[in-house]
């Protein structure tokens, strides 16, 4: 785990640096837009998604610069979803990672536009020749990101989440909600590393399955955290799920049952890595980290 | 002009049909999202952007199905920008094409998500092999759309527009605002037809320049319309620009001066088509239509 923490820190710094270069400040009337995009993407977060891209890509011998571009792209996509999710009409959250959310720091219009432009930019980076010399690889990345983040993925999950507020969802419904809302993008992140590495179809499928189950474990662990951790530990408002009348794994299974489910999913995620040797050890450690973290 | 109107109507119907098939209704918690996306994209509009894609593509012998996919994609991108633009935190518009805007028909959260998912879908359609067999062509379309619609294009222009409210902009500033806010996407639409047609670089450049000047003429004409037409003619609230304290061509040049500027830009747009024969006649007619329309 010490090994993983060092790797997480190193890659998080490289991702931060990549975003900083891709999103250089500008002058003129659009300066405020770029400032808001930088505010929403720079200065922290675990960079779980970007880490997955870079770590999987490195397993296939892909050079750092290309991998960090794709990592920066998925972190921008993720950041756009958080900026829009925090808006008053959505989750109405004033805090994000212990700081004012983007619409509180700037204003609602700027936050909407910053999220919009972050989404565009994440696709633009993937399509750029600097990401990979082979147009076929770039188009696969674009296709996979669009599938993971659109109406049949992340945004669809957010819609189901809003629709489900105030009524009880079944365990199956909650699992589907999260598979779409957070799972698809985490799965994509792992798969993107394999796409960059031009991995064989069956190997790519294993990596994607690992990402899918890691994402599921992550979400169940997140529900447990939301119910048990303090706002200080979380860096965001705690107990929001319950207050919003959202159906959670904890509401359905209890804290102990949900923690057990997170561990079960974690084992399932690691099983997909059986075809790899020690080169996948950090991906295995990441699963443990995700279900044991306190923030 | 009769010839153009028939062509506009035919292509608008084909675009409508393409969107309808790409955005099939679904069941489940995300049904509302798809319904809102359909509401925002189907049932009208001039389809100027989609028309440009299809008309230019047909000049280069591209088959209809591929062209209408790209046309549907740009109309989805355009629709997303309108949905977000109409939000209370942005222009706060209750009407769009004479109907309730998407957040009035559904709710704000659904409108935000529908806009987000429409943007994603517009990129996903371009990346799909059904659009073109050559991955290189698809990646050029994605690259061009990302450049036209992101922080250095449409969304950047929207930010400048918000920033400029309540203060006087110079003619140069207004021209730059519109070149970004609406010009980039209209330019892209023409260029996308040439990309699909795998036109030579210099020919593609001519088409792009035509699109750029057509977009500029369109916007100046739009300012004239906003100042002179009734809400009934426009199908949206009239005189909004002046009420919002926005700097317009009419405020800077007067109604007559702005109308003259629109005609100047129209001539400039047509001049780029000099290398073409009668196959570009509808593109020429389109320029006249854009500056003479009453809605």
As a whole number of angstroms, the distance between CA B61 and CA B55 comes to 10
B117, B120, B158: best to mutate for the A interface, most A CBs within 10 A: B120
Closest-CA residue of chain B to A29? B160
Q: Is B96 exposed, middle or buried (0-12, 13-18, 19+ CB in 10 A)?
A: buried
Please tell me whether residue B59 adopts helix, strand or coil conformation: helix
Residue-wise pLDDT for B188-236, tens only, equals 999 999 999 999 999 999 999 999 999 999 999 999 998 887 656 655 5
Closest-CA residue of chain B to A174? B29
State the pLDDT at residue A230. Answer: 65
- Taking residues B118-141, report their average pLDDT: 97
Q: Are B185 and B70 in contact (CB under 8 A)?
A: no
Position B245 pLDDT exceeds 80? no
Q: Are B20 and B43 in contact (CB under 8 A)?
A: no
Query: Are A162 and B113 within 8 A, CB to CB?
Result: yes
A86, A115, A117, A121: best to mutate for the B interface, most B CBs within 10 A: A117
What count of residues does chain B have?
295
Contacts of B146 in chain A (CB under 8 A): 120-121, 123-124, 127
Query: Are A151 and B127 within 8 A, CB to CB?
Result: no
Contacts of A149 in chain B (CB under 8 A): 120
Query: Are B160 and A29 within 8 A, CB to CB?
Result: yes
State the pLDDT at residue B128. Answer: 97
As a whole number of angstroms, the distance between CA A151 and CA A82 comes to 16
CATH number at residue A132: 1.10.600.10
Print the domain residue range for A191. Answer: 2-292
Please tell me whether residue A45 adopts helix, strand or coil conformation: coil
Do the bridges between strand A99-100 and strand A95-96 make them parallel or antiparallel, or are there none, so unpaired? antiparallel
- Quote the mean pLDDT of chain B: 93
Query: Are A29 and B151 within 8 A, CB to CB?
Result: no
B11-30 exposure pattern, b = at least 16 Cβ within 10 A, e = fewer:
bbebbbebbeebbeeeeebb
Q: Are B6 and B282 in contact (CB under 8 A)?
A: no
Closest-CA residue of chain A to B162? A109
Query: Are A151 and B29 within 8 A, CB to CB?
Result: no
Residue-wise pLDDT for A155-172, tens only, equals 999 999 988 877 888 999
Q: How many domains does chain A have?
A: 1
- Low-confidence spans in chain A with pLDDT less than 70: 230-245, 295
Q: What percent of chain B has pLDDT over 90?
A: 81
């Amino acid at each position: 785990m010490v090994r993983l923490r060092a790797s997480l820190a190193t890659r998080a710094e490289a991702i931060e640096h990549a975003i900083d270069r891709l999103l250089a400040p500008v002058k003129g009337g659009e300066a405020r837009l770029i400032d808001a995009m930088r505010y929403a993407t720079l200065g922290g977060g675990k960079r779980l998604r970007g880490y997955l891209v870079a770590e999987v890509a490195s397993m296939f011998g892909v050079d750092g610069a290309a991998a960090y571009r794709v990592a920066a792209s998925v972190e921008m996509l993720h950041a756009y979803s958080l900026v829009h999710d925090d808006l008053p009409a959505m989750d109405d959250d004033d805090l994000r990672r212990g700081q004012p959310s983007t619409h509180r720091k700037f204003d609602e219009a700027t936050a909407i536009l910053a999220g919009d432009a972050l989404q565009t930019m994440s696709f633009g980076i993937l399509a750029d020749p600097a990401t990979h010399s082979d147009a076929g690889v770039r188009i696969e990345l674009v296709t996979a990101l669009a599938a993971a983040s659109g109406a049949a993925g992340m945004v669809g999950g957010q819609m189901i989440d809003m629709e489900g507020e105030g009524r009880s969802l079944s365990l199956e419904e909650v699992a589907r909600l999260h598979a779409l809302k957070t799972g698809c993008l985490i799965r994509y992140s792992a798969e993107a590393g394999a796409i960059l590495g031009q991995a064989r179809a069956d190997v790519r499928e294993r990596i994607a399955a690992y990402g899918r189950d890691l994402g599921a474990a992550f979400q169940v662990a997140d529900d447990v955290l939301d119910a048990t951790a303090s706002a200080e530990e979380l860096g965001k408002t705690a107990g929001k799920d319950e207050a919003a009348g959202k159906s959670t794994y904890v509401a359905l299974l209890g804290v102990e049952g949900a923690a057990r489910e997170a561990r079960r999913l974690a084992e399932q995620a690691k099983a997909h890595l059986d075809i790899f040797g020690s080169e996948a050890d950090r991906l295995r450690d990441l699963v443990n980290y995700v279900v044991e973290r306190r923030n």
